[in-house]
């Protein structure tokens, strides 16, 4: 059994209500379970392969899920990258290996299933790209219309291609992501359309399975630290909840230090953590090459600040240059292809190790949130163009070895 509860004033709401924030104080909502009634099959937990629906007993859904087999993403042990950065043990949880190429699938398999359970027949979101791609695909699978609002000119090509091909109604807004989110919230409050941004607490329930999977893949051990990119601040909140629930249920015995990384041009959470401010100050003109995290007013900031502070973690910003260098390191040292936002986690880890904030003896998991192919334009901008050669062996030799035989 479960219900919704406001994290600010404690007001409670039934699971059957279509509600996104507290109707009394506008606070964020959390899904609260009666853990004493949850009986996990430990044998199954220890033997079955990870996937979102492996952990169904800890998810707020009663009907058959709308699924295209999300989760179960690889956790790579990255020794070459660890050596370069100077940490003892480094893993990368590559969420780019989900069906649409980002972690958003975990939230959307739960969110779209919930939409059907609540009798909603149209779904919508604002997006920096990946959320729209995931919603388009799960909406298609469920057979319901999808509306997505994107900041015009600031969404990577692969993500738009996915939203379009899977049949979403795609609207490019003359404004940034924060403007698009405000508009879609108004739209959903006025029409019978279900809002599936991460302000919707059910989205985060799907994403908490990243925390479950990391522990599961490490033999039910918890790393010292989890480092990930932060935009709207839903994922860091969700993953922390996953770790907290496993500890509460006695499956694991510790919590990782949650460490959020933002782009220097778009880092309200970092500023709040570093100044000790109780709340963020929204930024009006966020800017970064990592368009997925180009967000100035993260809606889940309150939850994320608690997750970081409570876990003893931290937050740091990285420049676009540092992000692009980390993207290359992941690609060339470990064979892991990620989009720029994802590389922020590795760039942040490198910076925090150099600063001495993260100890060299820590076991660290970096989460790479989206696949390289999401954003081909950035690759073309930063990599050398292919060399064009005549179709003869001498020209090929010359191009490779630099001289004619």
Ligand X SMILES: Cc1ncc(COP(=O)(O)O)c(C=O)c1O
How many angstroms separate the CA atoms of 359 and 322, rounded?
Answer: 20
Q: Which of 312, 314, 300 is nearest to 237 (CA)?
A: 300
Residue among 131, 217, 252, 378 that touches ligand X (CB under 6 A): 131
Counting contacts by CB under 6 A, is residue 193 touching ligand X? no
Q: Report d(CA 308, CA 119) in Å as an integer.
A: 36
232 is in an annotated binding site: yes
Q: Which stretch binds ligand X (CB under 6 A): 52-60, 142-150, 227-235, 395-403?
A: 227-235
Q: Are strands 146-151 and 169-173 parallel, antiparallel or unpaired?
A: parallel
Q: Give the one residue of 341, 343, 349, 352 binding ligand X; rule: CB under 6 A.
A: 341
Residue 241 C-beta: closest distance to ligand X, Å: 13
CA distances to 392, 396, 399 from 389, in Å = 8, 7, 7
For ligand X, the closer of residues 322 and 339 by Cβ is 339
Q: By CB under 6 A, is residue 233 in contact with ligand X?
A: yes
| Binding span for ligand X by CB under 6 A among 22-30, 230-238, 355-363, 377-385 | 230-238
**Residue 210 makes contact with ligand X by CB under 6 A:** no
Residue 375: helix, strand or coil by DSSP?
coil
Does residue 292 bind ligand X (CB under 6 A)?
Answer: yes
Residue 300 counted as an annotated binding residue:
no
73 sits near ligand X (criterion: CB under 6 A): no
DSSP state of 148: E
Candidates 41-49, 210-218, 231-239, 321-329: pick the segment binding ligand X (CB under 6 A): 231-239
Nearer to ligand X by Cβ, of 45 and 256: the residue is 256
List the interface residues with ligand X, window 9-48 (CB under 6 A).
none
For the chain, how far is it from start to end, CA to CA, in angstroms?
Answer: 75
Shortest separation between residue 64's beta carbon and ligand X, angstroms: 27
Interface with ligand X, residue 293, by CB under 6 A: yes
Report if residue 262 touches ligand X, rule: CB under 6 A: no
Does residue number 214 form part of the binding site for ligand X (CB under 6 A)? no
234 lies in the binding site for ligand X (CB under 6 A): yes
In angstroms, the Cα distances linking 190 to 18, 150, 184, 185, 311 are 13, 19, 10, 9, 38
Q: Does 235 bind ligand X (CB under 6 A)?
A: yes
Any binding-site annotation on 285?
no
Could you tell me which of 231, 240, 134, 139 has the C-alpha nearest to residue 181? Answer: 231
Contact status: 113 vs ligand X (CB under 6 A): no
Of 337, 399, 351, the closest CA to residue 101 belongs to 337
HSE at residue 289, side-chain half, CA atoms within 13 A, is 21
């050669």: which residue's tokens?
389
Residue list 372-401, contact with ligand X (CB under 6 A): none
Is the alpha carbon torsion for 205, 206, 208, 212 positive or negative? positive
238: helix, strand or coil: helix
Binding-site members are 130, 231-235, 369
- Residues binding ligand X (CB under 6 A): 102, 128, 130-131, 198, 229-235, 292-293, 339, 341-342, 369-370
Binding-site members for pyridoxal 5'-phosphate are 130, 231-235, 369
């Amino acid at each position: 059994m479960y219900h919704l509860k406001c994290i600010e004033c404690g007001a409670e709401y039934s699971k059957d209500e279509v509600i996104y924030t507290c109707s009394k104080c506008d606070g964020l909502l959390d899904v609260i379970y009666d853990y004493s009634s949850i009986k996990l099959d430990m044998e199954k937990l220890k033997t079955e392969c990870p996937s979102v629906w492996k952990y169904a007993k800890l998810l707020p859904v009663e009907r058959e899920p709308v699924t295209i087999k999300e989760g179960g993403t690889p956790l790579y042990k990255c020794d070459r990258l660890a050596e370069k950065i100077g940490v003892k043990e480094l893993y990368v949880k590559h969420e780019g290996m989900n069906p649409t190429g980002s972690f958003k699938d975990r939230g959307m398999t739960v969110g779209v299933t919930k939409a059907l359970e609540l009798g909603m027949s149209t779904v919508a979101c604002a997006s920096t790209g990946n959320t729209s791609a995931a919603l388009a695909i799960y909406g298609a699978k469920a057979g319901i219309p999808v509306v997505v609002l994107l900041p015009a000119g600031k969404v990577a090509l692969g993500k738009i291609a996915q939203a379009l091909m899977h049949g979403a109604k795609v609207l490019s807004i003359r404004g940034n992501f924060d403007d698009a989110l405000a508009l879609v919230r108004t739209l959903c409050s006025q029409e019978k359309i279900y809002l599936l941004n991460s302000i919707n607490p059910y989205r985060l329930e799907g994403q908490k399975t990243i925390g479950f999977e990391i522990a599961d893949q490490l033999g039910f051990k918890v790393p010292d630290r989890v480092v990930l990119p932060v935009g709207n601040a839903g994922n860091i909140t969700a993953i922390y909840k996953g770790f907290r629930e496993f500890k509460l249920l006695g499956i694991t015995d510790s919590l990782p230090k949650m460490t959020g990384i933002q782009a220097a041009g778009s880092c309200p959470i970092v500023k709040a953590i570093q100044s000790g401010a109780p709340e963020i100050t929204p930024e009006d003109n966020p800017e970064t090459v990592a368009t997925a995290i180009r967000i100035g007013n993260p809606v889940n900031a309150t939850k994320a600040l608690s997750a970081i502070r409570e876990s003893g973690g931290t937050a740091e910003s990285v420049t676009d240059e540092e992000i692009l260098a980390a993207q290359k390191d992941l690609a060339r040292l470990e064979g892991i292809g990620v989009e720029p936002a994802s590389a922020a986690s590795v760039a942040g880890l490198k910076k925090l190790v150099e600063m001495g904030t993260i100890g060299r003896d820590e076991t660290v998991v970096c989460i790479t949130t989206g696949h390289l192919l999401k954003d081909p334009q950035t690759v073309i901008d930063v990599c050398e163009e292919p060399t064009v050669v005549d179709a003869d062996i001498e020209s090929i030799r010359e191009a490779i070895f630099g001289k004619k035989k």
